[in-house]
Amino acid sequence: MEPTFILHRHPFQNTSWLLELFTLNHGRFSAVARSARGPKSRYRGQLEPFFPLLTAWSGKRELKTLTLAESESAPLILTGNALFSGFYLNELLIKLLHREDPHPQLFSAYQTALLELSKGSALLEITLRRFEKKLLEELGYGLNLSHTTDTHAPIQPEMHYQFIPQQGLILTPEPFVG
């Protein structure tokens, strides 16, 4: 059984779901949940975005078959702007992660972000920026935000800096207005 989140789902054939899954050790991939939309489905009410699941699947091709799914913990309920933010995180993962490329630390960061969003954190933007920063690091595009790139001096909160693409953060004598 693998910790899993559903990033996206849509109807497939008559009674199935086509799922985009994000797992702890296997990364992102697609799976079919057969007969999952029927009134007597064993998955009824479980295959929802933002619900922590434990799953199993079979198949060696690009499209797997979901064989088991059960709740890992209580569902994370997102509403309002937190719900839109959750869908934004899901879209980032779908668009930017390669299939079957595991990112255990990113999975943990995603789980933490969803938990913060479900608590109705007033710091929604901070939650999103923290996740985006971790995603960039995992993809090999991490930003050094602790030191300047020209002198390697530590960033000081009372100072002003400018970010220059292909160069990084540099100290500026006054606030940059771009």
Which amino acid is residue 118, in one-letter code?
S
Q: Is the model's pLDDT at 165 over the cut of 60?
A: yes
What's the DSSP call for residue 117?
H
Q: What is the pLDDT of residue 10?
A: 94
Q: What is the pLDDT of residue 95?
A: 97
Of the candidates 71, 93, 109, which is a domain's last residue? 71
Q: pLDDT tens, 36-50? A: 988 888 888 889 999
Identify the burial level of 125 via C-beta atoms within 10 angstroms of its C-beta, where 0-12 means exposed, 13-18 middle and 19 or more buried.
Answer: exposed
Residue with tokens 């693409």: 165
**Is residue 86 located within the same domain as residue 59?**
no
Phi-psi sector, 114: left (phi>0), alpha (psi -120 to 50), beta:
alpha
Q: How confident is the model at residue 105 (pLDDT cuts 50, 70, 90)?
A: very high
**Is residue 134 located within the same domain as residue 147?**
no
**Is residue 130 located within the same domain as residue 96?**
yes
**Is residue 162 located within the same domain as residue 132?**
no
Q: What is the pLDDT of residue 159?
A: 85
- pTM for the model stands at 0.82
**Is residue 61 located within the same domain as residue 122?**
no
Q: What is the pLDDT of residue 96?
A: 96
Domain membership flag for residue 52: yes
**Is residue 15 located within the same domain as residue 67?**
yes
Domain membership flag for residue 92: yes
Q: How confident is the model at residue 176 (pLDDT cuts 50, 70, 90)?
A: low
Could you tell me the residue range of the domain that residue 57 belongs to? 2-71
**Is residue 66 located within the same domain as residue 87?**
no
For the chain, what is the domain count?
3
Give the residue, 55 or 169, on which the prediction is more confident.
55
What kind and span of H or E run contains 157? none
